Structure 1
């Protein structure tokens, strides 16, 4: 299987900067490298774009992500995205009627702090891509993969819930 990964930053990628004393989104994909080192039978193309916390993303950034998806070499795409505005970006991709299978995922806890959530969500997205032939825009988070319009972040509970 061949998969393109559009890496946009988000909490998934954040690391602590001891000089500034804060978490920041780096301009690399070290978090992904750790997961991909244990992923066999899949060829990946990693495309780093935007590299921001999703709260800082603009509509121009979302269009940049759309263009990256359109221009990548594979029909199966995972987008690593911040959880705070993943709904906005995935809705734009769906609205543009992208003819690929696009699965957004991310993490609410940085991979550099606790690897479990980011690894689980990425693995869920990858497993979905290996199984489905359906085109569309989906979100893989907290144990489910559904159409992007059906998964919402409940900030009070700190988790993603399916909305009917």
Structure 2
């Protein structure tokens, strides 16, 4: 086993463990910082996949933008939780009436994903087939190819992601604002 494999397996383990801890933690501040670790490790995995631009975008947009907004929104809106985190009561029950819509949507999404994976056949995908014309080397200019594809072939998903990031910004601003007493 060489050093690249060791680093890859280490980053993969960090992503999996920290992502599971983000979901399992009851302390929101620790979950946000573990999410920070998850995003950084994902950027490292993108570097191993020769997706240098995606790795840099991951760090700049998600770690530098969305995650920092989440931290500021939390710190500005919940001073009582920071002073006394044990004072917040979290209901330990998993199946309650207000969890039902989220569970139903999660189950439907999981079912659709499993159906898609069962229909998925790697051998028939043209863009995955390794030939001399579509393999990447570390010296290729992936940023130019990515820019051409984003502005032509993948314009709709690119705009959808930009709207999602704008909604994250609006949500963070809404969480950070103070309620006025009437």
| TM-score, normalised relative to structure 1 | 0.30
By percentage of residues, which structure has more strand?
A: 1
Q: TM-score, normalised by structure 2?
A: 0.28
The structure richer in helix per residue is 2
